[in-house]
Structure 1
Amino acid sequence: MDIFLYTVLALIAALAICDLFVGVSNDAVNFLNSAVGSRTAPFWVILSVASVGVLLGATFSSGMMEIAKTGVFVPEMLTFKEVMVIFCAVIVTDVLLLNTFNSLGLPTSTTVSIVFELLGGTLAVACTKIWMSGAPFSELGSYVNSGKALAMIMGILVSVIIAFVAGLVIQYILRLIFTFQYERMYRWAGGIFGAVSLTAILYFLVMKGARGASFMQPEWILWMDENTEGILIGVFAFWFVVFQSAIIFLRANIFPFIILSGTFALAFAFAGNDLVNFVGVPVAALDSFHLFTSQPGADPEVMTMGGLRNITHTPTVILAGSGIVMCLTLWFSKKAHRVIRTAVNLSSATRGGKEQFGSSLPARVMVRSALRMNDVFHQIIPKSVFAALDTRFVKPRPKPGQIELPFDELRASVNLVLAAALIASATSMKLPLSTTYVTFMVAMGSSLSDRAWDRESAVYRISGVLTVITGWFLTAFSAATACGFVASLMAFWGEPVILIGMIFALCVIARTNFFSKEAPEETEETARQVDKGDQSSICELLTTNVNHYLDRTLTVFSDGLVAFLREDDASLAKLKAESISLMDEISERRGVYYSMALQGGGRKRDRDARNFYYRAFTNMKEVSHSLRDQLGVAENYVANSHSPFRGKMRENTILLAKEMQQVRDNFSPQACTRVLEHLDLAQQSFLVQIGDEHISLRKSELYLGFLLFAREVLNRFMMVKLLQTELEVETAKTAEEEAEKKTTFTEALVEGSCLQNTSSDKQTA
Structure 2
Amino acid sequence: MEQFYILLLFALFVLAIVDLTVGVSNDAVNFLNSAVGSKAGSLRTVLIVASIGVAVGAVFSSGLMEVARKGIFNPSQFFFDEIMIIFIAVMITDVLLLDLFNSLELPTSTTVSIVFELLGASVAISVLKIIKADDSLSTLSQYINSDKAIEIIMGILLSVVIAFTIGAIVQWISRLVFSFQYEKRMKYVGGIFGGVAITAITYFILIKGIKGVSGIPDSFLVFVEESRVLLLAACFLFFTFISQVIIKYTKYDLLKIIILIGTFALALAFAGNDLVNFIGVPIAAFQSFELWQGAYESTGILPSEFAMNSLSGKVETPTYMLVFAGMVMVVTLWLSKKARSVMYTEINLARSGEGQEKFEPNFLSRFVVRTTVNLTEICSQVIPTSIQEKIGKRFAKPSEKRSRRNDDQPAFDMVRASVNLMVASILISIATSLKLPLSTTYVSFMVAMGTSLSDKAWGRESAVYRVAGVFNVIGGWFVTAMVAFSAAALFATLIFYGEGWAISILLCIALLLLIRSFLVYRKKQKKIASEEKIDRTSLITINEIISDCSENISQVIKRISKIYSDVIDNLGLQDLAKLKKSKKQLKKLETEIEGLKSDIFYFIKSLDESSVEASKFYILTLDSLQDMLQSIGYISKNSFSHVNNNHKNLKFNQIRDLKRIDNKLDELYTRIYKDFDARSFDNIADAIEEKNVLLEHVSSLIQKQIERIRSTETSAKNTKLYFGLLLETKDLITATISLLTLFDEFQQNYNRIKK
- 1:302 is aligned to 305
Name the amino acid aligned to 2:500: E
Q: TM-score, normalised by structure 2?
A: 0.88
- Aligned counterparts of 2:86 and 2:657: Cα–Cα separation in 1: 60
Deviation at 1:729, TM superposition (A): 5.2
- In the TM superposition, 1:202-241 aligns within 5 A as 202-241=202-241
Deviation at 1:70, TM superposition (A): 1.8
2:550 paired with 1:543: yes
Deviation at 1:489, TM superposition (A): 0.9
**Residues 347 and 443 of structure 1: CA distance in aligned 2, closer, same or farther (over 3 Å):** closer
- 2:380 is aligned to 378
- 1:448 is aligned to 453
- DSSP-derived class of the 2:526 partner: coil
Once the two structures are superposed, what CA deviation does each residue of 1:304-338 show, in whole Å capped at 9, x if it has no partner? 22322213533333233222222212222344445
- Aligned counterparts of 1:539 and 1:81: Cα–Cα separation in 2: 70
2:492 paired with 1:487: yes
Choose which of 363, 366, 369 in structure 2 pairs with 1:367: 369
2:389 paired with 1:398: no
- 2:654 is aligned to 649
Identity of aligned residues (%): 39
- 2:316 is aligned to 313
- 2:618 is aligned to 613
**Residues 237 and 609 of structure 1: CA distance in aligned 2, closer, same or farther (over 3 Å):** same
**Residues 672 and 115 of structure 1: CA distance in aligned 2, closer, same or farther (over 3 Å):** farther
Once the two structures are superposed, what CA deviation does each residue of 1:607-665 show, in whole Å capped at 9, x if it has no partner? 23444334323433454455456534433433332322224333234434444443443
Choose which of 500, 507, 512 in structure 2 pairs with 1:502: 507
Q: Is the 8 A contact 2:187 2:248 kept in 1?
A: yes
- DSSP-derived class of the 1:219 partner: helix
- 2:677 is aligned to none
Q: Is the 8 A contact 1:179 1:393 kept in 2?
A: yes
Deviation at 1:47, TM superposition (A): 1.5
- Aligned counterparts of 1:337 and 1:322: Cα–Cα separation in 2: 20
**Residues 545 and 692 of structure 1: CA distance in aligned 2, closer, same or farther (over 3 Å):** same
- 1:32 is aligned to 32
- Aligned counterparts of 1:689 and 1:98: Cα–Cα separation in 2: 60
**Residues 698 and 57 of structure 1: CA distance in aligned 2, closer, same or farther (over 3 Å):** farther
Name the amino acid aligned to 2:392: D
- Aligned counterparts of 2:118 and 2:281: Cα–Cα separation in 1: 9
Once the two structures are superposed, what CA deviation does each residue of 1:387-433 show, in whole Å capped at 9, x if it has no partner? 33222211111344775642111111112333344456667788886
Once the two structures are superposed, what CA deviation does each residue of 1:175-230 show, in whole Å capped at 9, x if it has no partner? 12212222333211111111111111111123333121244343332343344444
Deviation at 1:167, TM superposition (A): 1.3
Range with bigger deviation, 93-102 or 454-463: 93-102
Q: Is the 8 A contact 1:163 1:442 kept in 2?
A: yes
Deviation at 1:168, TM superposition (A): 0.9
- 2:679 is aligned to none
**Residues 174 and 2 of structure 1: CA distance in aligned 2, closer, same or farther (over 3 Å):** same
Range with bigger deviation, 545-554 or 93-102: 93-102
For structure 2, the residue ranges without an aligned partner over 5 or more in a row are 673-686
Deviation at 1:723, TM superposition (A): 4.5
- 2:563 is aligned to 556
- Aligned counterparts of 2:312 and 2:690: Cα–Cα separation in 1: 78
- 1:92 is aligned to 92
Q: Is the 8 A contact 2:25 2:102 kept in 1?
A: no
Choose which of 560, 570, 573 in structure 2 pairs with 1:566: 573
- 2:598 is aligned to 591
- Aligned counterparts of 1:719 and 1:343: Cα–Cα separation in 2: 43
- 2:336 is aligned to 333
Deviation at 1:169, TM superposition (A): 1.2
- Aligned counterparts of 2:452 and 2:272: Cα–Cα separation in 1: 27
Deviation at 1:453, TM superposition (A): 2.3
Deviation at 1:80, TM superposition (A): 1.4
Range with bigger deviation, 10-19 or 61-70: 61-70
**Residues 378 and 332 of structure 1: CA distance in aligned 2, closer, same or farther (over 3 Å):** closer
- 2:477 is aligned to 472
- 1:689 is aligned to 708
Once the two structures are superposed, what CA deviation does each residue of 1:4-32 show, in whole Å capped at 9, x if it has no partner? 22222222222222232233334434432
2:606 paired with 1:603: no
- Aligned counterparts of 2:724 and 2:205: Cα–Cα separation in 1: 63
- 2:684 is aligned to none
- 1:265 is aligned to 265
- Aligned counterparts of 1:479 and 1:522: Cα–Cα separation in 2: 33
Choose which of 684, 698, 721 in structure 2 pairs with 1:679: 698
- DSSP-derived class of the 1:295 partner: helix
- 2:683 is aligned to none
- Aligned counterparts of 1:235 and 1:444: Cα–Cα separation in 2: 29
- Aligned counterparts of 1:276 and 1:709: Cα–Cα separation in 2: 61
Deviation at 1:89, TM superposition (A): 1.4
Deviation at 1:239, TM superposition (A): 1.6
Once the two structures are superposed, what CA deviation does each residue of 1:665-719 show, in whole Å capped at 9, x if it has no partner? 3234356655434332332233233444565554444334433443344333444
**Residues 476 and 197 of structure 1: CA distance in aligned 2, closer, same or farther (over 3 Å):** same
- DSSP-derived class of the 1:211 partner: coil
- Aligned counterparts of 1:344 and 1:106: Cα–Cα separation in 2: 12
**Residues 410 and 68 of structure 1: CA distance in aligned 2, closer, same or farther (over 3 Å):** same
Range with bigger deviation, 205-214 or 127-136: 205-214
Q: Is the 8 A contact 2:126 2:140 kept in 1?
A: yes
**Residues 110 and 21 of structure 1: CA distance in aligned 2, closer, same or farther (over 3 Å):** same
Range with bigger deviation, 105-114 or 134-143: 105-114
2:729 paired with 1:710: yes
Q: Is the 8 A contact 1:209 1:427 kept in 2?
A: no
- Aligned counterparts of 1:103 and 1:639: Cα–Cα separation in 2: 31
Q: Is the 8 A contact 1:59 1:323 kept in 2?
A: yes
Deviation at 1:166, TM superposition (A): 1.7
Range with bigger deviation, 49-58 or 508-517: 508-517
- DSSP-derived class of the 2:181 partner: coil
**Residues 137 and 637 of structure 1: CA distance in aligned 2, closer, same or farther (over 3 Å):** farther
Q: How many residue pairs get matched? A: 733
Q: Is the 8 A contact 2:536 2:603 kept in 1?
A: no
Choose which of 402, 412, 422 in structure 2 pairs with 1:407: 412
**Residues 333 and 470 of structure 1: CA distance in aligned 2, closer, same or farther (over 3 Å):** closer
Range with bigger deviation, 509-518 or 161-170: 509-518
